[in-house]
Amino acid sequence: MIDIKVAWAAMGGDPALVSYVSTVTRQGALEARLPVRELARACVGACALAAAELGARRAGLAEVPAVRVDDGAVASAFVSERHLLIDGRAPVSFAPLSRFWRTADGWVRTHANYPHHRARLLSALKLPGDASVADVAGVLAERSALEVETAVYGAGGLAVALRTAEEWAAHPQGAAVAGRPLVERERLGSARARAFPPLDAFPLLPAAGLRVLDLTRVIAGPVATRTLALLGADVLRVDAPQLPEDPDAHADTGFGKRSTRLDLGTAADRRTFEELLARADVVVTGYRPGALDRFGLSPEALVDRRPGLIVAQLSAWGAYGPWGDRRGFDSLVQVATGIAATEGTEGIKGAPERPGSLPAQALDHGTGYLLAGAVLRALAEQPEQGHSLVLRLALARTAAWLTADGAGERGGMAHGLRGTAYNQPDAWLVETDSGIGRLRHALSPVSFVGGPVNWARPPGCWGTDPARWA
């Protein structure tokens, strides 16, 4: 069942606290064949409850502030990248070669938004760098979907063959993912319990004074750290200077944060990173599993150097199974796990005539709020339990929750209100001036009594902030 109780239990939360959460339901929000609205509501609700719980503990409140989850706010935030305007200009979400393609026996989806991924895709297909959509379509039409998937991943690119939910369940990676918790929580080390400074300011900022190193890209990880920034954390995003970033994607998820660039392959930048780590409370990573280990950034190595640290690892497929070292994005996970087949148009004998997609990149956004909530819950436990804690989440595991048998049953909040239908997102959009222009953007859906409504600072230009804590 898609229920806040499931998400809250996965974070290690006290079941009794769910009674502090209510919802405003709105028909028309995130409509799909799969229970996307319920998934989004549960992820945001659990995250907001974790924030309210931590805030209550730090402020010495007698009880947890009431949490209210509005389907309208949630639906607007889950497509925040579509609502963003920069001086009236709408960003481009997908590059021309990031799309579904017909193959000789079915469908495949590619991801080529970044130049290096585009180059690897074309190299795997033995096409020149200036190849057109028609050129790629012609090559793929003559090959099987699994052949394309294997060849492109072998070249370091991204392509996934369309599978049904049944085919994914029978796949070794699907089976490995299904056997894992929604949120994996592993205690490491023997750090002493720690006390955080009390809070007495308004709005109530549960993460105030905490330092977060943000080593994530694209959507899920940055959504998590954007949420921690909303709640008062000093979030510093660190990127490698040689990896390009989409400035529009950075703008959408950069609210509340600062952004710097460090080349961990150089001695000077490595020293700077170690100085940042020495004062960090949380490290969030979102790179391919194992990619950061060569820099000494495995959870075990980080905790050894910074006892008491909370490490949150995000991946597409999970850091285990035959796909444990693969890159991935929300759109590709939807294709592999049967979501695209379920949401597509049905053809002969139940086979998808054309694949579909969710009304939002819900695996990215949902997992991002789950991750932020899991970090907040870990922080709430530390004054009593101590230890370092490693949290592991995967888009494919969130997809397994969405597609599980019975997932469509309606569950969720302890009590709720029925609001008007969700027709327009205007009530949850605001405009903010920034150094990169006038921004129209979605507000955060994480809401509790006395909590923040908007971020304290707008996003800046990628990689232009000093590599130091505020």
Active site residues: 364
Query: What token pair was written down for 380?
Result: 């709430």
What are the distances in angstroms from CA 422 to CA 34, 359, 425? 18, 14, 7
CA atoms lying within 13 Å on the CB side of residue 253: 25
Strands 234-239 and 211-215, bridge-based pairing: parallel
Q: How far apart, in whole angstroms, are the C-alpha atoms of residue 21 and residue 349?
A: 43
393: β partners: 314
Q: Residue 384 in 3-state DSSP?
A: helix
Q: Using the 8-state DSSP alphabet, how is residue 200 labeled?
A: -
Query: What token pair was written down for 290?
Result: 């194992």
348: alpha, beta or left? (left if phi > 0; alpha if psi -120 to 50): beta
Q: How far apart, in whole angstroms, are the C-alpha atoms of residue 183 and residue 392?
A: 6
**Does residue 445 have a cis peptide bond before it, meaning omega lies within 30 degrees of 0?**
no
Q: Which residues contact 146 (CB under 8 A, 6 or more apart)?
A: 161
Q: Which residues contact 147 (CB under 8 A, 6 or more apart)?
A: none
Count CB-CB contacts under 10 A for residue 428: 21
Q: How far apart, in whole angstroms, are the C-alpha atoms of residue 185 and residue 207?
A: 20
Q: How far apart, in whole angstroms, are the C-alpha atoms of residue 176 and residue 193?
A: 34
Q: How far apart, in whole angstroms, are the C-alpha atoms of residue 288 and residue 121?
A: 18
- Helices 36-59 and 362-385, axial angle in degrees (round to 10): 30
Q: Residue 234 in 3-state DSSP?
A: strand
Strands 437-442 and 85-86, bridge-based pairing: antiparallel
Q: Please tell me the total number of residues recorded for the chain in this structure.
A: 470
* Terminal alpha carbon distance of the chain: 42
Q: Using the 8-state DSSP alphabet, how is residue 198 labeled?
A: P
